[in-house]
Amino acid sequence: MLTSSLVKDLNRVLPKNNVLSEIEERYVYSVDASATAGVNTEIADAVVFVESIEQVQEIVKIANKHMTPVICRGAGTNTVGACVPVHGGIILNFSKMNKILEINKESMTARVQPGVVVADLQKKVEEVGLFYPPDPSNLKVSTIGGSIAQNSAGARCFKYGATKDYVLDMLVVMADGSLIRTGSNTIKNATGYNLGSLFVGSEGTLGIVVEATLKLIAKPQCTQVIMAYFDNVQDAISSVDQIIEKQMCPTTVDFMDKNALRTVESFYPTGLMTDKEAALIIEIDGFKAVMDEQRGLVCQVLRDNNASGIQYSRNKQEADNIWSARRSSMPACAKLKPNVTTDDVIVPRENLAKLVKGIQEICSRHKLEICMVGHVGDGSVHPQIPIDFDDKDEYRRYKIAKSEIYHLTAKLGGTISGEHGIGLEKKAYISKVVEAGALDYMRQIKKIFDPNNILNPYKIF
């Protein structure tokens, strides 16, 4: 329960306006974009807005004194309940620690606070000819701190990798309030354990990232987006393998199934071909002089694999329109029913067609609507299922289907999260894909780093 002594201690180290204690304020910050939000959880005891590393350290010390959890929060857009308070606690909001501290052109690095929005960072570094590739679909609001906590990826992961591949160094506040540095401001570092890799993707359960140094690369001179339609899923996926065999590496290879195409076109008309079983969205980049050759090779492979319609962007506006359609799949689904869930299962690409067809069959059998999008290049799909949580029978069928989807994913050699994390939503299923010995070591690491279990407890395990 909220105690006056806790609020008094928080007000002692923070400006009064940076501590929220009214029930309405605490409720707003106690939910995220997951199906878990508000289900078998409590609202936060307090919400605090921090503005400095020292304030974060003081908050952690207060949490230890009161033996209350600390749950870090960026934009709150994660879909697995990673920033939902399970048993109350302090919500640590980083929206006021949102400064880009340095962009170093010579070292090709950026030093940022955790509240920096991914899209804002991308815009700033591109102004000086550099590039930060990770692109979660909600990049216009997604924060660097949240991306590090969940190891966010996105469509460009196929060519450029995920967030973990761009974190060179971090300042991390530990569970006792101490501050450590995990790496260095260099591209290579073989000095001791790769401590930073433990924090990236740990969902705030091991430490609190308060500053990050990120690797940047040279900005590609040109980009172009190609959209191709297919009458069956297998042809679409086979195209990807053959594009790679041509020694091509597109920036992105994304996927939309028929239901996704229809749903997006119904709510955000952009001229999509809704009678096709699947569509690929392929982005290529590089020097302007070779763009026509790249596009020609890709389009030839698409035609050889029975693409029934191909279009490509001729300017930035047309490219943005194609990506807007792809990124609109989740909000479009949200208009079908009161709630919408999404997932991020991933398998080796050779099994992707089996995964897509299997998920469609599972949802059909349980009488659930589904729109499927994903990143074909790396083998991941996002089954988006619109449902009504107040319909108990539908929710029951959804939970059964979800378990079957995870079982199918494991059977096909995959894992249950490629980029969203585990949080609350998936912790009951992690043993399907992580063997017992590895899980035991993870729990031991958690106990060593956080002996009082105050850092985002009851997540992942």
Q: How confident is the model at residue 38 (pLDDT cuts 50, 70, 90)?
A: very low
456 located within any domain:
no
Q: How many CB atoms lie within 10 A of CB 67?
A: 10
pLDDT digits (tens, 9 = 90+) for 155-169: 899 999 999 999 999
pLDDT digits (tens, 9 = 90+) for 88-108: 999 999 999 999 999 999 999
If one compares 111 and 321, the residue with the highest pLDDT of the two is 111
54 located within any domain:
yes
**Residue 227: its pLDDT value, please?**
96
458 located within any domain:
no
455 located within any domain:
no
Rounded distance, CA 398 to CA 417, Å?
18
pLDDT digits (tens, 9 = 90+) for 110-169: 999 999 999 999 999 999 999 999 998 888 899 999 999 999 988 899 999 999 999 999
Please name the residues in contact with 368: beta carbons below 8 A apart, sequence gap of 6 or more.
385, 387, 394, 397, 398, 401
**Residue 221: its pLDDT value, please?**
95
**Residue 136: its pLDDT value, please?**
87
Please name the residues in contact with 97: beta carbons below 8 A apart, sequence gap of 6 or more.
50, 51, 52, 113, 114, 115, 210
Structural domain span for residue 80:
4-93
Same domain for 304 and 276: yes
**Residue 401: its pLDDT value, please?**
97
Residue pair 154/175 in contact by the 8 Å Cβ criterion: no
Average the pLDDT over each of 38-47, 291-300, 411-420, 429-438 and give the range with the smallest value. Answer: 38-47
Average pLDDT over residues 53-60: 98
Average pLDDT over residues 389-406: 95
End-to-end CA distance of the chain: 24
Name the token pair of 407. 């079982």
**Residue 39: its pLDDT value, please?**
59
Longest dimension (CA), the chain: 70
Last residue within a domain, chosen from 44, 77, 93: 93
Please name the residues in contact with 266: beta carbons below 8 A apart, sequence gap of 6 or more.
332
Same domain for 322 and 226: yes
Residue pair 375/157 in contact by the 8 Å Cβ criterion: yes
**Residue 3: its pLDDT value, please?**
67
Same domain for 344 and 312: no
Same domain for 251 and 298: yes
Query: Average per-residue pLDDT in the chain?
Result: 94
The helix (H) or strand (E) run that includes residue 211 is: strand 208-215
Instruction: Tell me the HSE value of 346 on the side-chain side, using a 13 A CA sphere.
Output: 17
The closest alpha carbon to 340, from 367, 374, 362, 369, belongs to 369
Q: Can you say whether the dihedral through the CA atoms of 239, 241, 245, 250 is positive or negative?
A: positive
Same domain for 180 and 133: yes
Instruction: Tell me the HSE value of 368 on the side-chain side, using a 13 A CA sphere.
Output: 33
86 located within any domain:
yes
Same domain for 411 and 365: yes
Q: In what order do the strands lie in the sheet with 222-230?
A: 309-312, 222-230, 278-286, 252-257, 371-375, 380-387, 339-341
Q: What is the CATH number of the domain that holds 341?
A: 3.30.70.2740
**Residue 267: its pLDDT value, please?**
87
pLDDT digits (tens, 9 = 90+) for 170-205: 999 999 999 999 999 999 999 999 999 999 999 999
317 located within any domain:
yes
**Residue 53: its pLDDT value, please?**
98
425 located within any domain:
no
Q: How confident is the model at residue 36 (pLDDT cuts 50, 70, 90)?
A: low
Instruction: Using the predicted structure, report yes or no on whether residue 55 has a pLDDT greater than 70.
Output: yes
pLDDT digits (tens, 9 = 90+) for 356-386: 999 999 999 999 999 999 998 899 999 999 9
Range with the largest mean pLDDT of 24-33, 213-222, 269-278:
213-222
In this prediction the pTM is 0.94
Q: How confident is the model at residue 1 (pLDDT cuts 50, 70, 90)?
A: very low
At residue 137's C-alpha, the angle toward residues 112 and 297, to 5°, is 110
Name the token pair of 124. 């700033």
Q: How many CB atoms lie within 10 A of CB 292?
A: 10
pLDDT digits (tens, 9 = 90+) for 326-362: 888 988 998 899 999 999 999 999 999 999 999 999 9
